[in-house]
Amino acid sequence: MKHVFKKGTNATAPTLLMLHGTGGNEHDLLSIASMIDEEANVLSVRGNVLENGMPRFFKRLAMGVLDQEDLALRTKELHDYIKEASEEYGFDRENVVAVGYSNGANIAANLVMTEKNSLAGAILYHPMIPNQDAKIPELTGLPVFIGAGVNDQMVPYTESEGLKAMLLEHGAEVDMHVEPYGHQLTGSEVEASKIWYNRNFKQTN
């Protein structure tokens, strides 16, 4: 997968797996990674699917209607790639925190919901429920941050709430930050995720 890897200065920090939104690329979220943890390794990946020339992580059939077959295939592809990258760059595969926005948040959520122990944590900006029928593994203690906007026209707020409920049901520890805005990623949302990240990952380093 096309990607950017930046080696961090703190060997005990998680590796941040950055996953862009529709039409983005592997450079889009690098500044967000720096805001969250400037000392961490960063693996920023470009989705392998094109929709009208715009990179995505998996196909969709229509707005808000995900291609479940392709989602399953691409989630497995991403899961395998993280292991491959950990061997290439020498980071701890067991200490990876995904940071995804929109389409990237959806594949990160599906990774958590379908691949046991795939992530040490996840920051999901404006996600929806990627897979209503997922056989979700035990997620006891898995820290997850969800950012949502009550006026999000792309992803109804109820979708993010529904995802939170599904993850909680399987033992994840979910913090949800809600803003009165739309689908855009705001500075205050990133700051809230940084505070969450510091609470969950900095104190143990």
Kindly name the residue from 102, 118, 160, 193 that is annotated as catalytic: 102
Has 44 been annotated as catalytic? no
Q: What is the CA radius of gyration of the chain?
A: 15
Has 34 been annotated as catalytic? no
Kindly name the residue from 28, 37, 152, 177 that is annotated as catalytic: 152
Kindly name the residue from 3, 79, 170, 183 that is annotated as catalytic: 183
Tokens 């900095």 -> residue: 202
Has 183 been annotated as catalytic? yes
Give yes or no for a contact between 86 and 4, defined as CB atoms under 8 angstroms apart: no
Measured at the alpha carbon of residue 118, what is the angle toward residues 114 and 122, in degrees to the nearest 5?
Answer: 95
Cα separations (Å) of 165 from 116, 159, 197?
A: 18, 10, 20
Q: Give the H/E segment covering residue 56.
A: strand 54-56
Residues in contact with 152: Cβ distance below 8 Å, sequence separation at least 6, in sequence order: 126, 160, 181, 182, 183
| Catalytic residue IDs | 102, 152, 183
